[in-house]
Amino acid sequence: MATRTLWPSKLALEVGPRDHIQGPPDAPVTLVEYGDYECPYCGMAHPVIKELQKRMGDKMRFVFRNFPLTNIHLNAEPAAEAAEAAGAQGKFWEMHDTLYENQDALDYDDLLEYAEQLDLDVSRFEDELTRHAYLDRIREDFMSGVHSGVQGTPTFFINGMRYEGAYDLDSLLQALQSRARGAAA
């Protein structure tokens, strides 16, 4: 009889101060995404997340964690480093959105151009990219995903439990609203 590997369905690393978070800390629903900036599926999920944030409002907080699939997306890790470097200057979410909105342009020169557009200290940004200053943090995100059973991107967790459904707007919205009602009860 063959055995099958069962991957954890629970978030291994709780949401905390090290995370990039949008939304109130007391929101009844927390949506965590493990994503890759070069992944086309993550790119398709990006506008869905934006719409979910609008519709859910203060009932949802959103957390993004890096999960660059470096074996198939050569620019994913440098893009994640760019997001973290922008985050060190208070503009993580602006860079996050820019990267997803420009997935076909993620080489080094593009990243520098985005830093300039976001009015970052470009010298500092470039130095941090060159030194790979945030690579350990990205690897921590990645390993927390591995320990949570993440195998591809995007992978979502709702209130700490892996979401196994489709990530179209209606499916995710229904799951989030259901969890929000359950949390309120």
Q: Tens of pLDDT along the chain (185 residues)?
A: 554 445 558 999 999 999 999 999 999 999 999 999 999 999 999 999 999 999 999 999 999 999 999 999 999 999 999 999 999 999 999 999 999 999 999 999 999 999 999 999 999 999 999 999 999 999 999 999 999 999 999 999 999 999 999 999 999 999 999 988 877 66
Strand extents, DSSP E, the chain: 20-22, 29-35, 60-66, 155-158, 161-163
User: Strand 161-163 vs strand 155-158: parallel, antiparallel, or unpaired?
Assistant: antiparallel
Give the number of other CB atoms < 10 A from CB of residue 41: 13
Instruction: Please give the pLDDT value at position 37.
Output: 98
Cα–Cα distance for residue pair 111/118, rounded to 1 Å: 11
Cα–Cα distance for residue pair 80/30, rounded to 1 Å: 22
Per DSSP, what are the bridge partners of residue 178?
none
pTM of the predicted model, to two decimals? 0.93
**The CATH fold of domain 27-184:** Glutaredoxin (3.40.30)
Instruction: Please give the pLDDT value at position 58.
Output: 96
Per DSSP, what are the bridge partners of residue 78?
none
User: Strand 60-66 vs strand 20-22: parallel, antiparallel, or unpaired?
Assistant: antiparallel
CB 63 within 8 A of CB 19: yes
Instruction: Please give the pLDDT value at position 4.
Output: 47
